Amino acid sequence: MTPSMSELELKHLWERCLGLAQEYLDTDSLQTITRAYTFATQAHAGQLRKSGRPYIVHPVHVAITLTELRQDVPTLCAGLLHDTVEDCSVTPADVQHHFGEDVARLVEGVTNLGRMYFGTRAQAENLRKLFLAMANDSRVVFIKLADRLHNMQTVRFLSDAAQIRMALETQDIFAPLAHRLGLWSIKLQLH
């Protein structure tokens, strides 16, 4: 049986992620992020993005961005798992059981930032959440920026209203945040 285009794309993306990770991580670390990839793949099985691609393509893109930034193993695992609690039947306790408290805390932080909505009434509260997340663990913000980057790369599949909302949030919040953190490549891609 010939692999589908989606399977080949996913295989290529995962090999790219592992290749980048091999540049700075040891074998045990690579095995840990591979376990996170397998867990996320199983959790997102059957889910599709608006583009029609398998959902797991998104977390792998997030992990690629994080490996390009040479993030640590818990951050890479959380990048792969960041949507499992919100979009799948995975609980925070499941993440903690399989990957530890650090990864579970990062996933929870990204999930909480994902619930932010920007607008005149909610903006102050959401900025407070963002700053608290940065104060508690800046890795949450790195994951959220990588998430936003891939979401903007695929924004064309959303409704016009959603595209406008995401573009404004990105312009007003996420691109300046990437700039302030010195993440120039992400800032340039978001701008």
The residues annotated as belonging to the active site are 86-87
Sign (positive or negative) of CA dihedral 111, 117, 121, 125:
positive
- From residue 115, alpha-carbon distances to 60, 70, 122, 149 in Å are 21, 27, 11, 17
Residues 74-113, buried b or exposed e (16+ Cβ, 10 A)? bbbbbbbbbbbbeebebeeebbbeebeebbbbbbbbbbbb
CA distance 18 to 13: 9
Q: Which amino acid is at 96?
A: Q
